[in-house]
Structure 1
């Protein structure tokens, strides 16, 4: 029952993979036709060798009709002329066969790469639209494996899997048919050990399949581990954890090694077994030819035929495993494509005729990353267009969750979020996010130039616009001092720049995209005083004419806010201006006193 279900699953997966072949029907049809042509070519050379050996040993040779087209009666009468003519024909035939095989191999490989390209684009596009929750619980290395390694395995379905298997099977069938046509008794005698080969092939396929599955899992684990630890190498080194992490890596790496050794062992057993079975077949063949005094040419041709049958059988089990691993990889890739944990965005979603004004309304919001553990509880507030609102509270109070919800990085469990009196679920999500600028505490910069990081490779933004924005933020002079100026190469994650410099670059980016709503997530909490002064000036310029939401760790930076929202354990405790909240002597006042006391103690 399980095997039947597995076969159905494999057929279903294969049919899904082949939906990506539709744009390349011509190439796929060409590869199948070439496979058939090559299978017809397979028995030709052994048969010609049979004729030449018989002619050379003085036997009468009756050339087939198709050969007489290329060889005249004069050539048939003389052994030397016949052998010379057939040899010339074989040279030409080998050249044609080689060209055909090259076109076949190139076409199947090209087809695989074309499918891989299309699938990889679709998978990457899917990943970019997944709910942020997916990235919270899925290691980056796993998604990397799905996008690169697993899809590359799908390429093997075409280059080393299904089409080559079909080509080998066609060749085996044609060769067997030729052998039965020439001498059915000799064919049956030579195939006596064949059932042993079928059994050995089956067990080899099953053994290697299990090993390859272990290898794929180990590769996924290795990718996830290496990706995570290289990204967090500063923490590993800071806490002298190199030895402990190396031990963990060794454990994963050993599993990868053991899985490969298991596959190598299966190969080491299978190939000698195939050679022994081939030797037995030849022994039966030679015995029968000698016992019945058959032609030497017949013996030579049947030895070549057996090699043509056993040679693909030696690798066909391996190709089946390649096909199986491609299907396993396809199943994993399709799971990513089937993941519907995305922020639904109607294609014809809501577009305002004019730019978003920036009015925000949180209407009794309840939100949990993992229900029923709510991080926001009945949150209700209103922000007018152009207002600057600060959100404060202890770590874990829900500040970052609020800004994540405005951008629709997560879906709420209950309540409504309205922007300009329209539910954000009704907006086209791309349109919505274009009008919301976010500057995070931990600024992420990509590998590439400063220009690329500011524009995010948007060709519509000119260099003069970037320079004007940099001058407004106060970053232009610094950038001009760098090697290459705006073409200065930023290392991965912006490691070649200071935290303050990365912050200012993110401000230039936000200013260029001219958002209606600006979100600043603790933009000055981790930088030095000099950088903070620059950042504060940049913030003052950025928030002009925009609805701004500032998450602040230092309460001294939000005194000018039109409104301060105080959170604690996911609930709003107070709302008001800085002076109003101090007068109430409530939760905010206590936070202010605690921070002021800490600053005084630090100064002392």
Structure 2
């Protein structure tokens, strides 16, 4: 099944296990002191609440018959104090657990976001970005109520049940047994509903993910949609996805709502049984005060049962989302620091590919047995047909993918044995699809070196001839650009990327079609800045415009999984081979135009 379509339901690769709930519990460990305080307040407030019915029993059975006004006043004060203590404990509990829950959400969201940042390109190639976004935002938000209220409230309800049972048993053991006689029925209902509800919410999570992925894709491709006037077709697909999400949601909610009436009805029937037994005195002998107090305890017993039922609903719901969250967290990055990896020291920029073979899929080599040596400071141009492996070479050098055979080294250091961060810090990469972050022009250029001064940023912009168009903007370097730089032209975005890369001052420079969106006049102005950018650093250039690479120290013609030709522009032209024919085809095209 294809995994990169918005309308394909994701297959859960590993079922959620009960012990995985411990992983959620681990997020609570940093807040254990606060949780202990909350539990103490729960214990105190629950005991205070349980005293109320007991005071009521004493008043009805003893104080009122004796017409003891003083005792009535005292017990009224005791009752009021108990309510005040219970309310204060409840207030502290609500505030503290809400804060803890939100802190846990922040920690969990940080973990999944930082983990996603470490995943290789292949992970993003195989999944719609909208589905990834759903896991980081929507699924985490769905856990808010469970973490903010559910876990600690569950403990509170368990305390409440235990304390209530103690008071009930102290009053009358037989009445207590009568009140619990329907618990097995409740257990059976819960077990029946559980599996149905979980599958329903798994299906809902898939439909929500599909809908979000489609919305994300539609927004990203809005220019194409409007250019081809395909708004109606996109709307029809959106309507279909929305209906599937609606149907899945209603199915899940319908099953979830079956739990609450079941618990509520059992609670009412249990109360009715106690009234019947108490009034008819079937096997028991209770006073009026005891019966009234017991009914209060029955309510205090079943209310937390109802709450636990609701928590169970939320837990089953959350489990469907936790499965996806933990599935993402459990993905082991294909590219990561190997055991014993060391920091790559300052380098000169000598690059060696030694019998390198790489494939994306088994049996389909993209590069086969490729070897070359590049001296520090040299400029290497990579040319050849589309899909030949030009971009693959620079991706392997940056270790965005691991090679299958051979070694790649920089200054004699095997790149697989150095840390990723120290390797990539030595490189400056400019891609054809230039990404501009939302923010100011100044902030986007400073991304290349975060401690750069404004003067250094302006100097970098002047070098690559970006300063001229920046100063024509309304607020110059403080101009705010929109997401992906949509308010700038493609050429302007690439000039900003040049300035950003120059500011980083990398030892190894990679330009992948970096001038493809720049017009010929601007490119001519840029050549001076580009030469300054290339000077003194090892550079790899991929460009279809051969005018950009004519001055390179070496040109590699990549085809048929290897380097078919290499040499300077003059040497390759004299060979009259593949590069010669490529150059002539561009020359003839320019001449015709």
3-state SS, counterpart of residue 433 of structure 2:
coil
Compared CA separation, residues 410 and 571, structure 1 to 2 (3 A):
same
Deviates more, 1:340-349 or 1:307-316: 340-349
1:310 Cα deviation from its structure 2 partner: 2.2
Compared CA separation, residues 197 and 21, structure 1 to 2 (3 A):
closer
Q: CA RMSD in A?
A: 2.6
For residues 286 and 500 of structure 1, the distance between their equivalents in structure 2, rounded to whole angstroms, comes to 83
1:334 to 314, 326, 330: 326
Does the 8 Å contact 2:351/2:409 carry over to 1? yes
Partner of 1:63: none
3-state SS, counterpart of residue 27 of structure 2:
helix
TM-score of the superposition, structure 1-length normalised?
A: 0.88
1:550 to 538, 541, 545: 541
1:325 Cα deviation from its structure 2 partner: 4.1
Q: Given the alignment of the two structures, is residue 170 of structure 1 paired with residue 159 of structure 2, yes or no?
A: yes
Partner of 2:108: 119
Q: Given the alignment of the two structures, is residue 210 of structure 1 paired with residue 199 of structure 2, yes or no?
A: yes
Partner of 1:197: 186
Does the 8 Å contact 1:347/1:428 carry over to 2? no
Compared CA separation, residues 194 and 421, structure 1 to 2 (3 A):
closer
1:344 to 336, 351, 354: 336
Partner of 2:478: 487
Q: Given the alignment of the two structures, is residue 37 of structure 1 paired with residue 40 of structure 2, yes or no?
A: no
1:475 Cα deviation from its structure 2 partner: 1.9
1:16 to 23, 35, 48: 23
1:347 Cα deviation from its structure 2 partner: 8.0
Q: Given the alignment of the two structures, is residue 249 of structure 1 paired with residue 241 of structure 2, yes or no?
A: no
For residues 548 and 384 of structure 2, the distance between their equivalents in structure 1, rounded to whole angstroms, comes to 14
Compared CA separation, residues 377 and 95, structure 1 to 2 (3 A):
same
Does the 8 Å contact 2:437/2:444 carry over to 1? yes
Map Cα deviations across residues 457-502 of structure 1 (whole Å, 9 max, x no partner). 8542111211121122222232233233222111101111111111
Compared CA separation, residues 342 and 272, structure 1 to 2 (3 A):
closer
Map Cα deviations across residues 67-126 of structure 1 (whole Å, 9 max, x no partner). xxxxxxxxxx624x4444333333332222122112222322322333332333232222
Does the 8 Å contact 2:350/2:538 carry over to 1? yes
Partner of 1:134: 123
For residues 334 and 240 of structure 1, the distance between their equivalents in structure 2, rounded to whole angstroms, comes to 41
Deviates more, 1:573-582 or 1:213-222: 213-222
1:11 Cα deviation from its structure 2 partner: 4.2
Q: Given the alignment of the two structures, is residue 304 of structure 1 paired with residue 296 of structure 2, yes or no?
A: yes
For residues 24 and 258 of structure 2, the distance between their equivalents in structure 1, rounded to whole angstroms, comes to 33
1:441 Cα deviation from its structure 2 partner: 1.0
1:514 Cα deviation from its structure 2 partner: 0.5
1:550 Cα deviation from its structure 2 partner: 0.9
Partner of 1:404: 395
2:65 to 59, 68, 80: 59
2:554 to 560, 563, 578: 563
Partner of 2:68: 78
Does the 8 Å contact 1:214/1:256 carry over to 2? no
1:564-579 aligned within 5 A: 564-579=555-570
Q: Given the alignment of the two structures, is residue 221 of structure 1 paired with residue 242 of structure 2, yes or no?
A: no
Does the 8 Å contact 1:437/1:518 carry over to 2? yes
Partner of 2:353: 362
Partner of 2:365: 374
Partner of 1:513: 504
1:53 Cα deviation from its structure 2 partner: 4.0
Does the 8 Å contact 1:204/1:317 carry over to 2? no
1:210 Cα deviation from its structure 2 partner: 2.9
Compared CA separation, residues 309 and 446, structure 1 to 2 (3 A):
same
3-state SS, counterpart of residue 518 of structure 1:
strand
Map Cα deviations across residues 377-427 of structure 1 (whole Å, 9 max, x no partner). 222222221111111111111111111111111101111112122221122
Does the 8 Å contact 1:392/1:564 carry over to 2? yes
Map Cα deviations across residues 498-533 of structure 1 (whole Å, 9 max, x no partner). 111111111111111101111111122233333333
Question: After the TM superposition, which segments of 4 or more aligned residues of structure 1 sit over 6 Å from their partners?
Answer: none
Partner of 2:435: 444
Partner of 2:3: none
3-state SS, counterpart of residue 305 of structure 1:
helix
1:237 Cα deviation from its structure 2 partner: 2.7
1:566 Cα deviation from its structure 2 partner: 0.6
Number of aligned residue pairs = 576
Compared CA separation, residues 198 and 580, structure 1 to 2 (3 A):
same
